[in-house]
Amino acid sequence: MNRKLAIVATLAAATLALGACGSSSSSGASGSAAAGDAVTLKVGVNPVPHGDILKFVKDNLAAKAGLNIDIVEYSDYVLPNKNLDNGQLDANYFQHLPYYESQVKEFGYKFEHGEGVHIEPYAVYSKKVKDLKDLPDGATISIVNDPANQNRALVLLAKQGLITVDEGKKDLTIHDVKDNPKHISFQEIEAPNLPRTLDSVDASVINGNFALQGGLTPSKDAIALEDGKDNPYANFLAWKADAPAEKKAAVKKLDELLHSPEVAKFIKDKYADGAVIPAFGN
130 and 219 both lie in a single domain = yes
End-to-end CA distance of the chain: 76
171 and 192 both lie in a single domain = yes
Helices 245-258/52-60 angle, 10° precision: 100
In a domain, 20, yes or no: no
138: left (phi over 0), alpha (psi -120 to 50) or beta: left
In a domain, 21, yes or no: no
Read off the pLDDT of residues 4-28 as tens digits, 9 standing for 90 and up.
434 344 434 433 333 333 333 222 3
Predicted local distance difference test score (pLDDT) of residue 1: 46
Read off the pLDDT of residues 61-86 as tens digits, 9 standing for 90 and up.
999 999 999 999 998 889 999 999 99
Give the CA diameter of the chain. 108
Read off the pLDDT of residues 113-148 as tens digits, 9 standing for 90 and up.
999 999 988 999 999 999 999 999 999 999 999 877
66 and 200 both lie in a single domain = no
Domain of 150 in residue numbering reads as: 122-225
Q: What is the mean pLDDT of the chain?
A: 86
Residues pairing with 71 in the sheet: 43
Q: What is the CATH number of the domain that holds 112?
A: 3.40.190.10
pTM for this one?
Answer: 0.69
